[in-house]
Structure 1
Amino acid sequence: MPVSSSVTSSMRHAVQGIWREAAKFGVVGALAFVVDHGGYNLLVFGLPGGARGGPMSASPVLASALATCAAALFSWAGNRYWTYRDRHREKVTRELALFLAANGVGLAITAGTVFASRHLLGLDSPLSDNTARVLGWVLATLFRFYAYRRYVFVAS
């Protein structure tokens, strides 16, 4: 009897830990989403109610790249110093490089679902594009959660 209660207690503790970690990961991701999309809209369209566009209204692709980079750096800092604060490496540059590589794979997953929808399935409606992007976002998020835990934020 003591062995089964010990195993049950250990499993409960592990499940609670992973849910806590996943919740923190989700909060950081949601805030990074706000940084990305909010930053893009401010750069391209300016402040709400403003008569003129944003400072990068003529360069939306560059604005998108800058906003995404800002969001990625925010996400790295949030995950490093909050979600995985007890698991980060001593060599910050290596950790950041692994983080960016994991995000590159995540980007490829999201783009891959749109590519598959458009070029393999022949779908080109806004609904199919957005459905593909959401599916890609979900798959990429699951991949990033795994990669961060396994490769990026590990104790040195």
Structure 2
Amino acid sequence: MRFVRRLHERFESLVHELAKFGSIGAIAFVLDTGLLNLFNLGMGWGPLTSKVLATTISTTFAYLGNRFWTFRHREQSGLGREYFLFFLLNGIALLFGMLTIGFTTYTLGLEDSLSFNIANIVGVGLGTLFRFWSYKKWVFLEATEPIPVELPDAGVKQDR
């Protein structure tokens, strides 16, 4: 029984982070895919241009959700630093999507919407694995001190 308790304690925060990360990621995915299809299929912009624009918008949403919800308990090392690293790492992850869409469209010659969306899903999946690992390692750092659940009373005495 101690083993199960230690295992639960060890992975509890990881499971919560993964659930929150997955929730933000799911919303960002819907946003990214919807905008990607709107830009490419609806507006007739190129597949790679559409991917870059859709990813830029969904990445901004994902940053805000991850900073202020998923990883809010982690060290805050400065909005500018985090935002820069977040977008840099998302730029690297974007390459997965661009490679799969580019390969499908230009190498295989598959330009139908189903192939386009499947390529996007594969690229997003590969990029998501990279993003989760890299955010924890470089963007949203472990807190050096425990972050209090509630704000301290600041020396205010309460009458009881």
Q: TM-score, normalised by structure 1?
A: 0.68
Q: How many residues align?
A: 137
Q: Distance in 2 between matches of 1:91 and 1:78?
A: 16
Aligned equivalent of 2:21 = 25
Amino acid at match of 1:18: L
Q: TM-score, normalised by structure 2?
A: 0.67
Cα distance change on mapping 1:11 and 1:149 into 2, 3 Å: same
Question: Where do residues 80-95 of structure 1 align in structure 2 (5 Å cutoff)?
Answer: 80-95=67-82
Question: Where do residues 13-92 of structure 1 align in structure 2 (5 Å cutoff)?
Answer: 13-38=9-34, 41=38, 60=45, 67-92=54-79
Question: Where do residues 115-130 of structure 1 align in structure 2 (5 Å cutoff)?
Answer: 115-117=102-104, 122-125=107-110, 126=112, 127-130=114-117
- Once the 2 structures are TM-superposed, how far is the Cα of residue 73 of structure 1 from its aligned partner? 1.5
Q: Distance in 2 between matches of 1:39 and 1:117?
A: 19
Cα distance per residue 1:54-85 (max 9 Å; x no partner) = xxx6x857887555433222111110010000
Q: Distance in 2 between matches of 1:112 and 1:29?
A: 20
1:12 partnered with 2:11 = no
2:55–2:94 Cα contact (<8 Å) kept: no
| Matching residue within 86, 105, 110 for 1:99 | 86
Aligned equivalent of 1:109 = 96
Extract unaligned runs of 5+ from structure 1: 46-56
Cα distance per residue 1:18-68 (max 9 Å; x no partner) = 2221111111112223444556749x97xxxxxxxxxxx6x8578875554
Amino acid at match of 1:135: V
- Once the 2 structures are TM-superposed, how far is the Cα of residue 134 of structure 1 from its aligned partner? 1.9
Q: Distance in 1 between matches of 2:133 and 2:29?
A: 19
Q: Distance in 2 between matches of 1:79 and 1:98?
A: 13
1:103–1:144 Cα contact (<8 Å) kept: yes
State the SS of the aligned residue for 1:124: coil
Amino acid at match of 1:72: T
Extract unaligned runs of 5+ from structure 2: 145-160
Q: Distance in 1 between matches of 2:122 and 2:54?
A: 22
